Chains A and B, each alone.
Chain A
């Protein structure tokens, strides 16, 4: 059952304002609703021709303010922060208002409409702000800002030492992610429509990460700080039967992660046992990554209806991201290089690396209608990514006050991934209410990965994929407000890239919805995926199915109250052979996931 809980003005769209979000039980704050519906005070009528009807108020919408008291979190505060993380204090819980420019003549207006939406601002883990400004026939501007706080201090598995306060997942992170996106579309005429866009993404925060030495690892302070800027501009060309889009963009990226351990304290890491009578420790550390990246990319596409019985479309995408890295590291303590049984008291690392990954994708497809009830849709897609990199390192190990052992390294890497898909779908409109679908897809590709010089057990890896997929489906619309979709897919593979990939599989789903009245609707769905890879040494068996049913009752378009309920049951079972790393003994990995969701 949900109820708005506070009086709100409707938006201009005539839709109810967004329903309340789930609040934790700790939420006991007062809620103030400031309804900014100034139509009676500020609304004006105008005799000018205007895209905005003159009977609309100048400002309409709502602003919700509130205060949250967190009265106490019982149990693990880290778990609370990792899963909920709601803070206390004054909040802007939500806002959604529209300003209509009805007080100026159309020719004198800078804008016709401004719409502002905001939610959860004020020590909340997900703050959002959205702004739209538009003027008909001239431009449309939209801006979006999000500030998402992410905290994770949970072990990645059942930690046997958790009760003693020792968390084995030493990757606690307290991160803030900020996303901003601004786009301006111009409408100089009906054919050419240029646009520009700017996106910004950044992360910063503190955490715990590990300094990994040869025989021990030491939890140390980790400072993350990275940001990415994305600039792009494009042109849409809309002719009567042909539409084109061409876009050119570029990105810049920087990452200045640091690991630090102050001198004056001794960190014994995770391995306490002496090696050849010596205890390993870390007494100081300073590591800094200086990652700088950039890329250019091109996006060109077309869609056309050259003949009354045929539509065609195609896309070409190209990107070439590049990274350049300078890494410096300095640490002191008592460490050992196991391969040489060499103890040292200090280490200095200087590494420079560079990599690039040109990536090309393209597709082409068509819908051909040889008969009124028959549609044939051939399609083709290719994706080719070649990543290469090189790294030059200079390491110096201080074995005593007077001697250093220099170690130099030069590594080169290459990863190639090419994949292709060709397919054909046929649709037959049996009646206006029943459409049958059948199709075939063939997927092929190859991949390789190598780091030179080859070391240890890792050599050149090569894989290929060959997969045939048959598709069948039914879309049935018994009533105008009811539909049922059935889909079935059967795939068989000659080879795959990874052991856990789809190999010989069957996928089926059924989904339906019935809108009994304008206020009441019901939905149901069921799906199953069965995947088997009987190859020796793999013996992968995977079965997942999910069944759901729900209903929604929204009398009066949900303006005052609505009621919804549903139930979902899902199970997943996976079984695959793997090798225990220590003795290469065959083991079995079983995973079961059963869930019920009632709402």
Chain B
């Protein structure tokens, strides 16, 4: 046997089910051919040119080979729409087809999942070094808790909650509503209107250090702007020189939406 090491590893791999005839696509006892194509010539000549080698395919071609069987990925848009696919990041960039063991195709451990994503997204890894962040560095969360690497019709491969609600509500269900008095950006733009979910130098992962500026950068329209952008005029004539009014959420506590107060006070 020429590829004995691969064969031994493959026997412990989830794809070994193909070799055992447990796949509807056949290939019992010929699992190698399910990806590498007919191998009789290769066996005769022992030449690498006589066998398909997906490792040398263009990424889109690799994806097509995998999707022959794995078309039904748990995504909302299919692999095709995924930004990974569009950027020519093939399935094999994350999935090791020949690796052995139950985790061989892709890692399942939080630390290793995060390390795998960070190996390319090094800029995002740096963001998690900010003082206020989701608990990715502690491995209490993984990147795939919020992102679906296979695809999503939301930007950033964001996962969804309860069919088509923002994935943030999977954990932050108290912010989900619906509220009688909605805060429009939460619905129309999502949580990242005000928060930097990967990490921020500001408390509560806000986009600005001072809460009042998070609010006033939107709530600063003159009445003539109505109909051009939403956000209304400054909501009250508060004296911002008083510390009492510098943090809007001291009073407007239900900033994500309120069930009972139109001014989001309670």
Q: Is B226 an interface residue (CB 8 A)?
A: yes
Q: What is the distance, in angstroms, from A81's C-beta to the closest C-beta of chain B?
A: 13
Q: Is A593 an interface residue (CB 8 A)?
A: yes
In the bound complex, residues from chain A placing their C-beta under 8 Å from that of B231 are: 461, 498-499
Q: Is B197 an interface residue (CB 8 A)?
A: no
Once the chains bind, are A201 and B126 in contact (CB under 8 Å)?
A: no
Known: A299-B163, A317-B76, A363-B77. A499 touches B229 (CB 8 A): yes
Q: Is B86 an interface residue (CB 8 A)?
A: yes
Once the chains bind, are B101 and A270 in contact (CB under 8 Å)?
A: no
Taken residue by residue from 199 to 228, chain A's Cβ proximity to chain B (1 for < 8 Å, 0 otherwise) reads as 101010000011110000100000010111
Q: Is A530 an interface residue (CB 8 A)?
A: no
Once the chains bind, are B216 and A589 in contact (CB under 8 Å)?
A: yes
In the bound complex, residues from chain B placing their C-beta under 8 Å from that of A161 are: 243
Q: Is B34 an interface residue (CB 8 A)?
A: no
In the bound complex, residues from chain B placing their C-beta under 8 Å from that of A315 are: 76-77, 153
Q: Is A158 an interface residue (CB 8 A)?
A: yes
Q: Is A68 an interface residue (CB 8 A)?
A: no
Q: Is A74 an interface residue (CB 8 A)?
A: no
Q: How far is the CA of A355 from the CA of B260 in the complex (A)?
A: 11
The A-B contact count (CB < 8 A) is 456
Once the chains bind, are B102 and A303 in contact (CB under 8 Å)?
A: no
Within 8 A of B (CB), among A300-331: 301, 303-305, 311, 313, 315, 317-319, 321-323, 325, 327
Once the chains bind, are B111 and A212 in contact (CB under 8 Å)?
A: no
In the bound complex, residues from chain B placing their C-beta under 8 Å from that of A327 are: 259-260
In the bound complex, residues from chain B placing their C-beta under 8 Å from that of A449 are: 182, 184, 230
Once the chains bind, are B76 and A311 in contact (CB under 8 Å)?
A: no
Candidates A148, A311, A523, A577; contact of B135 at CB < 8 Å: A148
Taken residue by residue from 172 to 196, chain B's Cβ proximity to chain A (1 for < 8 Å, 0 otherwise) reads as 0110111111101101110001000
Q: Is A33 an interface residue (CB 8 A)?
A: no
Once the chains bind, are B102 and A15 in contact (CB under 8 Å)?
A: no
In the bound complex, residues from chain B placing their C-beta under 8 Å from that of A243 are: 71-72
Q: How far is the CA of A96 from the CA of B17 in the complex (A)?
A: 25
In the bound complex, residues from chain A placing their C-beta under 8 Å from that of B253 are: 171, 209-210, 212
Once the chains bind, are B102 and A168 in contact (CB under 8 Å)?
A: no
Q: What is the distance, in angstroms, from A562's C-beta to the closest C-beta of chain B?
A: 10
Q: How far is the CA of A437 from the CA of B58 in the complex (A)?
A: 14
Taken residue by residue from 340 to 352, chain A's Cβ proximity to chain B (1 for < 8 Å, 0 otherwise) reads as 0000000000010
Q: Is B160 an interface residue (CB 8 A)?
A: yes
Looking at chain A's contact residues, the main secondary structure is: strand
Once the chains bind, are A385 and B123 in contact (CB under 8 Å)?
A: no
CB closest chain-B residue, reference A98: B102
In the bound complex, residues from chain B placing their C-beta under 8 Å from that of A576 are: 217
Q: Is B44 an interface residue (CB 8 A)?
A: no
Q: What is the distance, in angstroms, from A470's C-beta to the closest C-beta of chain B?
A: 15
Q: Is B1 an interface residue (CB 8 A)?
A: no
Taken residue by residue from 41 to 75, chain B's Cβ proximity to chain A (1 for < 8 Å, 0 otherwise) reads as 00000000000000111111000000100011111
Once the chains bind, are B201 and A595 in contact (CB under 8 Å)?
A: yes
Q: Is B94 an interface residue (CB 8 A)?
A: no
- Which one of A18, A83, A359, A485 has the highest number of Cβ atoms from chain B below 10 Å of its Cβ? A18
Q: Is B143 an interface residue (CB 8 A)?
A: no
- Interface stretch, picked from A35-43, A260-268, A399-407, A543-551, is A543-551
Q: Is B206 an interface residue (CB 8 A)?
A: yes
Once the chains bind, are A253 and B173 in contact (CB under 8 Å)?
A: yes
Candidates B88, B100, B131; contact of A83 at CB < 8 Å: B131
Once the chains bind, are B189 and A501 in contact (CB under 8 Å)?
A: yes
Taken residue by residue from 147 to 187, chain A's Cβ proximity to chain B (1 for < 8 Å, 0 otherwise) reads as 01000101111111100000011110000010100000000
In the bound complex, residues from chain A placing their C-beta under 8 Å from that of B206 are: 156
Q: Is A136 an interface residue (CB 8 A)?
A: yes
Once the chains bind, are A483 and B88 in contact (CB under 8 Å)?
A: yes
Q: How far is the CA of A311 from the CA of B64 in the complex (A)?
A: 10
Q: How far is the CA of A293 from the CA of B223 in the complex (A)?
A: 36
Q: Is A249 an interface residue (CB 8 A)?
A: yes
Known: A168-B246, A217-B250, A457-B233. A353 touches B180 (CB 8 A): yes
Known: A157-B211, A499-B217. A513 touches B250 (CB 8 A): no
- Which one of B86, B126, B219, B251 has the highest number of Cβ atoms from chain A below 10 Å of its Cβ? B126
In the bound complex, residues from chain B placing their C-beta under 8 Å from that of A286 are: none
Known: A389-B180, A475-B59. A313 touches B131 (CB 8 A): no
Q: What is the distance, in angstroms, from A424's C-beta to the closest C-beta of chain B?
A: 12
Once the chains bind, are B184 and A156 in contact (CB under 8 Å)?
A: no
In the bound complex, residues from chain B placing their C-beta under 8 Å from that of A462 are: 226-227, 230
Once the chains bind, are B101 and A321 in contact (CB under 8 Å)?
A: no
In the bound complex, residues from chain B placing their C-beta under 8 Å from that of A298 are: 163
6 cross-chain CB contacts under 8 A: A321-B176, A363-B81, A427-B86, A435-B88, A463-B230, A525-B123
List 7 extra interface pairs beyond A201-B173, A322-B178, CB under 8 A.
A228-B173, A240-B24, A437-B86, A500-B218, A548-B122, A580-B240, A581-B237
Binding site for A on B (CB under 8 A): 11-12, 16-17, 20, 22-25, 55-60, 67, 71-81, 86-89, 99-104, 107-112, 119-123, 125-127, 129-132, 135, 137-140, 153, 160, 162-165, 170-171, 173-174, 176-182, 184-185, 187-189, 193, 201-204, 206-213, 216-223, 225-240, 243-244, 246-247, 249-251, 253, 259-260, 262, 265-266
